[in-house]
Amino acid sequence: MKTIKNIAAGALLAGAGAIFGLQTAQAAIPIQHWTQPGGAQVFLVESPAIPMLDVQLDFDAGSRRDPAGQAGLASVTALMADKGVAARDGAPALDENQLGEAWADLGASFGGSASNDRMSFALRTLTEPDLLRRSVHLAARELGDSAWPDDVWQRERQRLSAGIQESRTRPGTVARLAFTKAVYGDHPYGQETTPESLARIGTADMRARYAATVVPCRAKVSLVGAVTRAQADQIVAELLSRLPQGACPPLPPVPEVAPLAAPVEENVPFTSAQAHVLIGQPGYKRNDPDFFALLVGNHILGGGGFTSRLTEQVRERRGLSYSVYSYFAPGLHAGAFTLGLQTRPDQAAEAVAVSRQVLRDFVAQGPTEAELKAAKDNLVGGFALRIDANRKLLDNVANIAWNGLPLDYLDHWTERVNAVRAADIKAAFQRVLQPERMVTVVVGGQR
């Protein structure tokens, strides 16, 4: 008889061959897409080489929908959905320990999380028929019959509050909180989860939030694994079967992130060996038509590690910081552009000045042709590593599903990167970034 351990070992060996195939083959990645009668949108990549299945269910229930005064509601709702299931239809209740043991017995996993935009649930299971059937059934119970135990929430609230208070003793957290608030203002992206906001959240709030947003008609479900379309359709139907069915009224709109009207500078005293520096502003939305120009451009500016222009100027030429970076965080709204570094407190002012100048020069002039070629070679050469495992491929499929990207997005990713011109990057950066109107936060620098 095959044991879970035997099956998992076989999956690992098969996975190595499948990963090698992804790295060497240039074939398209066929994504199948359909909508179920209840409104759920399904996205499937059949990957039969590995006897495993990864599923991600996404709902428009992220922190951007947290009510004022209840920051953290989305995150704790996703957390508490994993803390036990209620009895229903003859199936017994399971507390959090029993639920954890049930998943361990199956050699599978299931859990929830929340980001700015979405609440997500992820299932990973072997596709041996009995294990698959039992895993999907248990995940459906957890999705549809969460118990929301008050005593567990009281414990978790104390744990989370203690963690927040401890994190505030670290300069990196102080810098991040000040930066986020200054960049986003009153937009929900800038809300801070605090012990006070957690104290205003009860399990009744979680139930209400969950019931309003985690419903089949709002689901975008991505699957990668050894299942057929017919199997995938049946799996998704069962996963969503215990959630409320029926009408799906539109959710209220969320305002856009307001651009900065003027520069903001915050110097926060803090006794630490390193000063923490963050510079940035609201960036762009994920559906921006210049996404690839901004992606390639940021790789040159500060996203390419030791080959980036910021690293060359701040680290290599002047020794002001061991590492310096930049990145965009696009979402359904304009996520932040962030330039960050750590440096000696007595060097903070110089590091800020140099970083600002590098940024101004890049926005004004764009990249050189040599920088552009090196960035393209690096990005295109590393593309296979973005899809070399089921979980990574699932992340990409879910990204396509969530952002409404073309189903052949991955097939044309490298050619879209190669098509970017230096002039495209210059124009995109000049449209999106305003170096003279940025937030600068320094925590721990000498004043």
Q: Shortest CA distance to 266 belongs to which of 36, 444, 429?
A: 444
Does pLDDT of 21 surpass 60?
A: no
Residue 9 pLDDT: 47
Residue 367 pLDDT: 98
Residue 191 pLDDT: 96
- The mean-pLDDT minimum among 4-13, 101-110, 402-411, 438-447 falls in 4-13
CA angle 189, 59, 410 (to 5 degrees): 90
Take residue 387 and report the two structure tokens written for it.
Answer: 């899809």
Does pLDDT of 139 surpass 70?
A: yes
Residue 361 pLDDT: 98
Spatial separation of the C-alpha atoms in residues 138 and 110, rounded to whole Å: 9
Residue 13 pLDDT: 43
Residue 246 pLDDT: 86
Residue 177 pLDDT: 98
- What is residue 146's three-state secondary structure? strand
Residue 18 pLDDT: 45
Report pTM.
0.93
Q: What is the mean pLDDT of residues 390-403?
A: 97
The DSSP element (H or E) to which 113 belongs, if any, is: strand 109-114
Architecture in CATH of 264-443: 2-Layer Sandwich (3.30)
Beta carbons within 8 Å of 160's beta carbon, 6+ residues apart: 72, 76, 193, 198
Confidence of residue 10 (pLDDT cuts 50, 70, 90): low
Confidence of residue 1 (pLDDT cuts 50, 70, 90): very low
- The mean-pLDDT minimum among 94-98, 247-251, 275-279 falls in 247-251
Does pLDDT of 446 surpass 90?
A: no
Q: What percent of the chain has pLDDT over 70?
A: 94
What confidence tens digit (pLDDT) does each residue in 144-186 have? 999 999 999 999 999 999 999 999 999 999 999 999 999 999 9
Residue 28 pLDDT: 85
Does pLDDT of 19 surpass 80?
A: no
For 4-18+29-239, CATH gives 3.30.830.10
> Do the domains spanning 4-18+29-239 and 264-443 agree at the CATH topology level?
yes
Confidence of residue 20 (pLDDT cuts 50, 70, 90): very low
Does pLDDT of 3 surpass 90?
A: no
Residue 247 pLDDT: 83
Spatial separation of the C-alpha atoms in residues 180 and 192, rounded to whole Å: 9
Q: What is the mean pLDDT of residues 278-299?
A: 98
Take residue 156 and report the two structure tokens written for it.
Answer: 């978790």
Beta strands in 191-273 (DSSP E): 220-225, 264-268
**Which one-letter DSSP state was computed for residue 347?**
G
Spatial separation of the C-alpha atoms in residues 164 and 159, rounded to whole Å: 9
Cα torsion for 213, 219, 224, 229, to the nearest 10°? 150
Domain ranges of the chain: 4-18+29-239, 264-443
**Do β-strands 119-126 and 275-282 pair in parallel, antiparallel, or remain unpaired?**
unpaired
Confidence of residue 22 (pLDDT cuts 50, 70, 90): very low
What confidence tens digit (pLDDT) does each residue in 304-328 have? 999 999 999 999 999 999 999 999 9
Task: Give me the chain's average pLDDT, please.
Answer: 94
Spatial separation of the C-alpha atoms in residues 33 and 265, rounded to whole Å: 47
